[in-house]
Amino acid sequence: MAKLKLKSSQWIVDKDNNIIIGKGRAEILENIERTGSINQTAKMMKMSYKAVWSKIKATEKHMNACIVHTDRKEGSRLSKEGKDLLAKYKLLKAQCITADDKIFCGLFR
């Protein structure tokens, strides 16, 4: 039998299946936190500024909360809600991967 492995992804969505956060939006938030810039984040991710901004705004709309603070002088940073969302998503992802791997190994090994 070929050596198999499991690949899985997690998205958090609202009741209408609008994406709140997934791998891409988590990466956007991590890069904003690291660089302090939406523009730098867009360049790093090879996305337009508008695309990055639109994803942030869509998440904020669906959560009814500000996740990124922007200031012309101080740049951009995650709000408390943005930091909490990112931290919880990372924890969820890690726990899902652990659970998925356990189930996969029980079935395929």
Q: Are residues 97 and 8 in contact, defined by beta-carbon separation less than 8 angstroms?
A: yes
What the block records as the tokens of 43 is: 């360049």
Q: Are residues 63 and 20 in contact, defined by beta-carbon separation less than 8 angstroms?
A: yes
Domain residues for the domain of 97 are 21-102
17-29 confidence digits (pLDDT tens): 999 999 999 999 9
45-88 confidence digits (pLDDT tens): 999 999 999 999 999 999 999 999 999 899 999 999 999 999 99
Pairwise CA distance, residues 16 & 31, whole Å: 27
Pairwise CA distance, residues 56 & 82, whole Å: 10
Quote the pTM value: 0.90
Q: Are residues 14 and 20 in contact, defined by beta-carbon separation less than 8 angstroms?
A: yes
The answer to whether residue 98 is domain-embedded is: yes
Split into its structural domains, the chain has a count of 1
Give the CATH number, domain containing residue 55.
1.10.10.10
Give the closest residue to 22 by CA, choosing from 41, 33, 9, 34. Answer: 9
Q: What is the pLDDT of residue 25?
A: 98
The answer to whether residue 26 is domain-embedded is: yes
